[in-house]
Structure 1
Amino acid sequence: MTESRGTAERIVGTHGIRGRVPEELDPGGAYRTGAAFALLTGAPVIAVAHDLRGCSPALADAFAQGVLDQGADVVDAGAGPADCLAYLSGRLDVPGALVTAGRGPGAPYGIRLCHAGAAPVTEGTGLEAIRERLAGPRPALTDHPGSVVRAPVLDDYVRQLRSLVDLGGIRPLKVVVDAAHGIAALTAPRALHHPAVELVPVRFAFDEDPAGQPDGDLGERVRRSGADLGLAFDEGADRCRVVDERGAAVSPAAVVALVAARELARRPGAAVVHDLIVSRAAIEAVEEAGGIPLRSPVGRAAIRSLMAEQGAAFGAAHSGRYYFRDFWCADSAMLAALHLVAEVGETGRGLSRLTAGLDRYPRSGGIGIRVADPMAALRRVAAYFADTGAELDRLDGVTGEFGDGSWFNVRAAHGAPLIRVHVEAEDPATMEALRDRVLAVLTS
């Protein structure tokens, strides 16, 4: 039996496996993916975890059975947040898999994979081999199937995080946590367990069909309860939105600045990797803290690879992902949240005061533009702005920087006729004018 090559091509992307259940990814497909992963790694032991959403446990069980039927043992970690995959693989030095679902009802499910030591499995490091195996014959069973060791991960995972962020000397704090009916309802009370921390839970009851986005009333809940800050996780605790004690949103750029300064205090003069569309305000904060900012293409694999290569202390993405050298260069929303709690608790200052001036440049936000030929559109942008005094580079798409500090980046989306646009400038009028010029060239 084989999967169709078309299905294999659709669900195995450049960074992981993702498909709608059951049309593209069902227990049979998860089983074959587990078998393919066992054959790819040749490892005697593979760790498997899952989030709490709908089909995730069943898909994880099927994946594990595929591993077992190829003769490898399985460490069944049960339910865990997105970053527990890095913890499992890094701590045990084994390959691992996490089954998770996207945001919102009807979102596709995914299987994240990593090699031993939490190194991501991407195109070029194994996904292409898994794609070929899924399109080929069903793998033969071994005569010596593996065995299962059940090892729930949550408590050990939290101990690892708390070993990296000391909450010992903090002042009393009230923290609102929105778990979005997901796994943070289990991890946040453990991670924030401390005599000085009063946790105010929001949407902690697990929901099989969650709304998918952090609660828009988080700021109001913080103000109403007199809390010091609010943390809104998505269902898989993959990302965290932050509000200060006034209920105002704290930008990813400000979070980067605060957390990078804390990591650089432990490793003075270290490198900090950032993707090329992180705000200039965050980059300036890294320099002010004595760090060496290094630009990276967008994406987990690129950031983590450059961090490992340069021994960077910290990494950051424009989308609000934060990467830590001491966490196998993987991203962890909960670890970033702990740093913010520690900073507010140790300094005695409100989060609004700590972040004042750390998000000083107007940004367009990500804008998606559909085009018939993305590569031709990028060439048009490069040709047009080459004559305007912009300094251009092609690290990822086309980036143009101007003498007044304004910049733009245009990138082709993977697998879709779409261009993603980001623009930043010193003031709103300059940003809007540059944004409109870029969009006009793209759509001409």
Structure 2
Amino acid sequence: MSAFGRVLGAYDVRGLVDGELTADLCYALGIGAGEHFSSQGAQALVIGRDMRESGPALSRAFALGVQEAGLRVLDVGRCATDQLYFASGVHHLPGAMFTASHNPASYNGIKLCGPGAAGISRDTGLSAIAQAAEAHLGEPLPREEPAAEPLQIAGRYAETVRRLGAPGGLGRRLKVVIDAGNGMGGMLSGQVLGGDAGLEPLDLDLIGLYLEPDGTFPNHEANPLDPVNLEDLRAAVIEHGADIGLAFDGDADRCVVVDERGEPVTPSAIVGLVASREIARVRAAGENSPAVIHNAITSLAVPEAIREAGGRPVVSRVGHSLIKAAMREHGAVFGGEHSAHYYFRDFFCADSGMLAAMHVLAALSGQDGPLSELVAPFDRYAASGELNSVVADQAVVIAKLRAMAEAGEFGPARIEELDGVSVIGADGRWWFNVRASNTEPLLRLNVETPSRERTTALGERLLGLIRES
């Protein structure tokens, strides 16, 4: 699988346009995907793309490949990733979304899903698709346009997100600042919160930053997990006296929330808040102890909040295809990651930044207090956030930290290896995790303790050990 070695990740395809990800490669991948899904009984495939300038050419080549393999192509056009998942779910068809998520403009990629928005990883189809595509490398890319059938889903998607996220509607009027980072969040916000998809606009005062989709990202990268990319949103929330700020990544499947003070709300706190709402909803309908999925790097507050709400926490490895598989396996009502991905059973177990945002807006508008007070019960520990390092040998560094933990050099603790190495204090009040990234050449560190001082000290010590290697 050498031809795809540079672009095939753990659960998607991603690489530098032209240098790594080319139209010819996408044509071969389209044939491979068409053959793979055809063998499973599919007769069509849904395609969408974000605002990246390379999207039309790459998705065209892929669509031609899918058609060469004998499948029809349904084209959603420019959309957010969760809209592609929605189309896959509604029509029970496999799908391909052309996006590189939060990566810079020079990148693009493909997020593939099975019928019903089922997640696909290397072990559940991605490797098989790449292997099938290998046989078609070098075949000439046809000159004609694909015979794709347009598929309109914006109105149905917007109605569904409103119904699932705010089933009782919104309460008091809120002032909301949205920073789309020139990604798909601007279009999405207009459709769901405004009236661009044919619905009545919600009773909100909306203030927009960088809403126009532009794959060159002229203002800042569409990566809201990097604090520098939240500076404009934080300033605008304070300037306008807003109740809340919402920031989306490039393909708008992730949402980061800023409170009325301009302070970012940790994704773990949002997981706790939305999990509590979803647990309460299904328990009222008679479902006992509903499962909620969270990954190994969310705050200790997350499983605590899930249990307090009457739910059952289930831990999973990081990654959207893995979370989706765990959602289905356990019949989970909700799932959340530290990276601001939020998954919903009633949304085909797929992740949706806008649906999570709708839950937060509904919760905030349904009471009189500020957002900072609303999320405070779910923000009980001091987390470092993700600390990334480039190291020569990730496995050697991880092994060194594991050996030190076994020797008790960080204090009494147990070790878990569900996702990288997690060292968890014997008192259950602190932990750190170190793991290799699935999407970038980085070693990722997360630390959490009861106090900011302790988290900072432990984080600095661990970073020193990692970077001296």
TM-score, normalisation: structure 1? 0.92
Alignment of 1:8-407 (within 5 A): 8-42=4-38, 43-103=42-102, 105-138=104-137, 147-165=147-165, 166=167, 168-193=169-194, 194-210=201-217, 211-213=220-222, 214-268=229-283, 269-388=289-408, 389-404=412-427, 405-407=429-431
Q: Which whole-Å CA distance do the structure 2 matches of 1:253 and 1:273 have between them?
A: 12
For the residues of structure 2 that align with 1:126 and 1:135, how far apart are their CA atoms? 14
Q: Structure 2: which 5+ residue stretches go unaligned?
A: 195-200, 223-228, 284-288
Equivalent residues of 1:176, 1:200 under 8 A apart: yes
**AA matched with 2:174:** L
Deviates most, 10-19 or 324-333 = 10-19
**Closer/same/farther in 2, CA of residues 151 and 399 from structure 1, 3 Å limit:** same
Which one-letter code corresponds to 2:290 in the other structure? A
* One-letter amino acid of the structure 2 residue matched with residue 179 of structure 1: A
- Cα distance in 2, alignment partners of residues 384 and 406 from structure 1: 16
- Per-residue deviation, residues 156-206 of structure 1 (Å, max 9, x unmatched): 221221221225252212211112122222111221133422221221233
**Number of residue pairs aligned between Structure 1 and Structure 2:** 438
| 428-437 or 358-367, which deviates more | 428-437
Code of the aligned partner of 1:164: L
Aligned CA distance change for structure 1 residues 354 and 327 (closer, same or farther; 3 Å): same
TM-score by length of 2: 0.87
Question: Aligned equivalents of 2:241 and 2:116: distance in 1?
Answer: 42
Residues 245-268 of structure 1: per-residue CA shift (max 9 Å, x gap)? 222221112211211111011123
Q: Which amino acid aligns with 1:198?
A: D
Distance change (3 Å), C-alpha of 1:185 and 1:131: same
Q: What secondary structure, in the 3-state scheme, does the structure 2 residue paired with 1:303 have?
A: helix
Whole-angstrom distance in 1 between the partners of 2:415 and 2:245: 39
Aligned to 2:225: none
Any unmatched runs of 5+ in structure 1?
none
2-side partners of 1:292 and 1:104: how far apart?
Answer: 34
Change (3 A) 1:117 1:415: closer
Measured at CA, do residues 6 and 304 of structure 1 come closer, stay the same or move farther in structure 2, by a change above 3 Å? same
Match of 2:237, SS? helix
CA distance in 2, matches of 1:215, 1:155: 29
What displacement does 1:378 show? 2.4
1:289-340 deviations in Å (ceiling 9; x for gaps): 1211111111112211111111111111111111111111111100000001
Compute the RMSD of aligned alpha carbons: 2.4
Q: How far apart in 2 are the matches of 1:237 and 1:352?
A: 24
One-letter identity of the residue aligned with 1:26: T
| Cα gap change, 1:185 to 1:270, in 2 (>3 Å) | same
Q: Is the 8 A contact 2:413 2:425 kept in 1?
A: yes
1:45, CA displacement in angstroms? 0.8
CA, structure 1 residues 129+351, in 2 after alignment: closer, same or farther (shift >3 Å)?
same
Determine the structure 1 residue equivalent to 2:435: 411
2:33·2:133 contact (CA, 8 Å) conserved in 1?
A: no
Say whether the 8 Å CA contact 1:242–1:249 is kept in structure 2. Answer: yes
Relative to structure 1, is the Cα distance of residues 141 and 435 closer, same or farther in structure 2, using a 3 angstrom cutoff?
A: closer
Amino acid at match of 1:286: I
Letter matched to residue 360 of structure 2: L
AA at the equivalent of 1:241:
V
| 8 Å Cα contact 2:317/2:418 also seen in 1 | yes
Distance in 2 (alpha carbons) for counterparts of 1:416 and 1:148: 33
**Matched-pair contact (CA < 8 Å) for 1:245–1:350:** yes
Displacement of 1:146 in angstroms is 8.8
- Percent of paired sites with the same residue: 39
After superposition, give the CA deviation of every residue in 1:84-139 in whole Å (9 maximum; x if it has no partner): 12111111001111111343644310011111111122112221122223332457
Distance 2:355 2:345 in 1: 12
Q: Paired residue for 1:421?
A: 445
Asked if the contact 1:384/1:441 (under 8 Å) is kept, the reply is no
Give the aligned residue type for 1:107. S
Q: More deviation in 90-99 or 292-301? A: 292-301
Q: Give the distance between the partners of 1:416 and 1:245, measured in 2 at CA.
A: 33
Partners in 2 of 1:232 and 1:71 — Cα distance? Answer: 40
Amino acid at match of 1:336: A
- Following TM superposition, by how much is the alpha carbon of 1:345 offset from its aligned partner in structure 2, in angstroms? 1.2
Contact preservation (8 Å) 1:73, 1:146: no
